[in-house]
A and B are shown apart, each in its own frame.
Chain A
């Protein structure tokens, strides 16, 4: 009886449960990072991959699409980690950002968005061709998915791609976003991701809002406003270029 009362309270106060859950998760990963690495690895560089593992478990257990949040008592995780609060927190990081640093890297930052969209598209389309896809619509849709998991389905729908190719493009975008979240702290030193300029370039090249948000959180939260500033334009630029110029380019090359 007690367990059903507890379950009831946790489910009915979903967001509050999520606060408590994430707090406990962060406490344990911070302790873990202290004990195992002497605090050398940022606690959130452990918490984010652990979150992803739990998301996978949620998907396996429920077969749903919202990771851990598909388990009823963890439903609040979807609200806490949803686009609304995520964007609210990202915008808040602009308070105290350095306007002159933003201006300084403005041009190369904008350029990096264009380069980033084209680069990811070309690489993704190349992978599709390597796996035996030959029709331009499928190749372009998978290429678009390698940009972000929004650009993929937008492009696929516009071009009339089949639903399994659209699903592939979403999966490619998800893999990208997960890889960026986990990988960023480990390559940050090597790629020089330690100042506002490189953070703006990083945001423009990666473009996945969740990937960039997670990657910078685990690397250096002070860089968040610079990376988020460029990443926010990426999906729009991708939705504009992928079904038009980039698709025509694929069609031209494959025919």
Chain B
């Protein structure tokens, strides 16, 4: 079973994403900020990371840059999932190493489409 780490400071968003992804046969891990996500990745690198941008402690883009420069940090597929819905943020995320980008609000169709595009579904 592939694993997906959901990183979002909103409990509701984590719950909605978990329901969709569990239904798509992913094993789910959760973190509420970038720092917590790094700790999880150090313990066991997930296959996919669904990543919010604006979070306390460490935001999504700082987490991604740290992840990509760490050992085995190039392995997970990272999909941003954020309310930052403009081209500047999209470009910044992709150049920092994100594989895909979801603009909130999302639904099951969007999650399925994006996960399918990056080859994890």
Decide if A and B are genuine partners: no
